[in-house]
Chains A and B, each alone.
Chain A
Amino acid sequence: QVQLQESGPGLVKPSQTLSLTCTVSGGSISSASHYWSWIRQHPGKGLEWIAYIYYRGIIYYNPSLKSRVKISVDTSKNQFSLNLSSVTAADTAVYYCARRSGSSTFDSWGQGTLVTVSS
């Protein structure tokens, strides 16, 4: 059974870049059937999809975040990563990585990691 685990700093300063990595275990990130996604949840709020990537580099973005998002995949490490630039307090959220098995079907999730943007 595939497992996902987010890692990265829990505190980022305003205007800096938020960087997170998701490590996939129990399955291959080079799966032909899956994309790999980032989703966030602001404190006490709903879910917001950020982007997802196929192991061959095909990427889909949330239009509202596209200009600040960079997502990449490292098949040798079975990891994928998120960089979100020019962060503000509005980017404070729990960030989840998830496996996509259908256009909006996320069938496996990491436990989530809280990232706080503050000086």
Chain B
Amino acid sequence: QSVLTQPPSASGTPGQRVTISCSGSTSNIGTNAVNWYQQLPGTAPKLLIYSTTQRPSGVPDRFSGSKSDTSASLAISGLQSEDEADYYCAAWDASLDGYVVFGGGTKLTVL
């Protein structure tokens, strides 16, 4: 059971806008930045969004992140077939001595 909760699956057709949610608590998303990772099949995860809303160099602006209270969202606009992947949210959790928590992942299917 992951500390951050994501829907196990999401889908959309090419060109559509899709959002993936990530729900946490005051000890993680409520007080810390959220990061998103994209994992294409058979590859290592790749940083997609950092500090809740920032895109690393090379990540298309079709990807955007946001946060409200204890929930975060990843939005993908202009969906493309190459966006089919697993997406994970992550945050620092300040409980105990502090540690990194991940969501369980969302498998995005492009129909």
Contact = CB atoms under 8 A, between A and B. Distances in A.
A binds B: yes
B51 A105 contact: yes
Interface in B51-83: 51, 56
A105 B35 contact: yes
Contacts of B46: 109
A63 B96 contact: yes
Given A46-B2, A60-B97, A60-B98, A107 B105 contact: no
A103 B2 contact: no
A48 interface: yes
B25 to A, nearest CB: 15
B22 to A, nearest CB: 12
B99 A46 contact: no
Question: Which of under 10, 10 to 19, 20 to 34, or 35 or more describes the interface residues of B?
Answer: 20 to 34
A28 to B, nearest CB: 20
A86 B109 CA distance: 38
Contacts of B34: 104
Given A103-B33, A104-B92, A112 B102 contact: no
A47 B37 contact: yes
A107 B51 CA distance: 12
A107 B50 contact: yes
Interface in B8-54: 32-35, 37, 43-47, 50-51
A82 to B, nearest CB: 15
A104 B50 CA distance: 9
Given A47-B90, A104-B32, 13 more contacts: A46-B104, A47-B88, A47-B102, A61-B99, A62-B100, A63-B97, A102-B51, A103-B32, A103-B92, A106-B45, A106-B90, A109-B45, A111-B43
Interface of B: 2, 32-35, 37, 43-47, 50-51, 56, 88, 90-92, 96-105
24 contacts: A46-B88, A46-B102, A47-B88, A48-B102, A49-B90, A49-B99, A49-B100, A49-B102, A60-B99, A61-B99, A96-B45, A102-B35, A103-B32, A103-B92, A103-B100, A104-B35, A104-B90, A104-B92, A104-B101, A105-B51, A106-B35, A107-B50, A109-B45, A111-B44
